[in-house]
Amino acid sequence: MNRILFRGAELDAAGRLCVEDRRAAHLLDVLKARPGQVVRLGLVNGPRGRGTVEAIAGRRVTLRWEPDGEPPSVPPVDLLLALPRPKVLRRLWAPLAALGVGRIVLVNAARVERQYFDTHWLQPAAYEPLLLEGLEQAGDTRLPEVAVRRRFRPFVEDELESLWPATLRVSAEPGAPGSMTALRRKPGERMLVAVGPEGGWTEFELRLLDARGFRRVGLGERTLRSDTACIALLALAHEVARRDGTGEVP
């Protein structure tokens, strides 16, 4: 935990934060907090800042919050992800937030099994703690926006353009000869990475994406599990974003 996050509603009128959950455990057991000590805090979807420990009573810690400048900018990369198996989805939430994704849209695809949509890992109450864990690791405060779409074609044909105007779009396809880092991103342009199911997008799905300007890229000849492929592709997208102008977009 590199930064302890809290929600605006947790602050009292005097700007004090009082915790007695796993954050208190981290303060007491890992950071060995003592009154007067200053620790890194962050307001979810708000600024980073400092917290000064005011009081410790048993396992309850009270901190004074001081924000530090503007909220961090939204990461320049978004993800269109064919819904993976529940176990893989569960594993992905924290690293996605840690790597930095502005928006995650989970879509259906021909090779997604219908019952995957029943998993509780699609419920905000289940995945938000994992996203927060990733943000705390990375030191960010911006929760990715998450949306779920059960129909691929209507989503691509009717919603995609308005969600992602003027975006550098990439579809990942095992074995595709295109390479992510051969792409050029205009400064400030967002990047959208579409990652298919473990069996890959169908040719029909790839053509729908082609028609919306997605460039096909691969990761070599090896077939990777969805979670490994997602982390690899996001790492490459962030590398392109950093290389081609300010990585962060306000």
CB 66 within 8 A of CB 49: yes
Q: Between vectors from CA 197 to CA 221 and to CA 161, what angle results, nearest 5°?
A: 105
Fill in the per-residue mask, 90 to 109: x = in contact with a second copy (CB under 8 A), - = not in contact: ----xx--xxx---------
Secondary structure (3-state) at 6: strand
Fill in the per-residue mask, 23 to 62: x = in contact with a second copy (CB under 8 A), - = not in contact: ----------------------------------------
b (16+ CB within 10 A) / e for 77-86: bbbbbbbbbb
In angstroms, what CA-CA distances link 32 with 27, 28, 45?
6, 5, 27
Q: Which residues 140-169 are close enough to bind a second copy by CB under 8 A?
A: 140
In angstroms, what CA-CA distances link 166 with 1, 152, 169?
35, 20, 9
Told to check if 11 binds a second copy by CB under 8 A, we report: no
With contacts defined by CB under 8 A, name the span among 29-37, 146-154, 174-182, 208-216 that binds a second copy: 174-182
Q: Which residue number, 53 or 233, has a Cβ lying nearer to a second copy?
A: 233
Give least dist CB 151 to a second copy, A.
Answer: 28
Fill in the per-residue mask, 205 to 244: x = in contact with a second copy (CB under 8 A), - = not in contact: --------------xxxxxxx--x--xxxxxx-xx--xx-
Q: Which residue number, 119 or 228, has a Cβ lying nearer to a second copy?
A: 228
Amino acid letter, 4: I
Cα separation, 14 vs 120, in Å, equals 37
CB 237 within 8 A of CB 180: yes
The number of residues that bind a second copy (CB under 8 A) is: 33
Bridge partners of residue 216, in order along the sequence: 171
Give least dist CB 138 to a second copy, A.
Answer: 4
Give least dist CB 59 to a second copy, A.
Answer: 25
Question: Under the rule (CB under 8 A), what is the footprint of a second copy?
Answer: 2, 94-95, 98-100, 137-140, 179-182, 219-225, 228, 231-236, 238-239, 242-243, 247
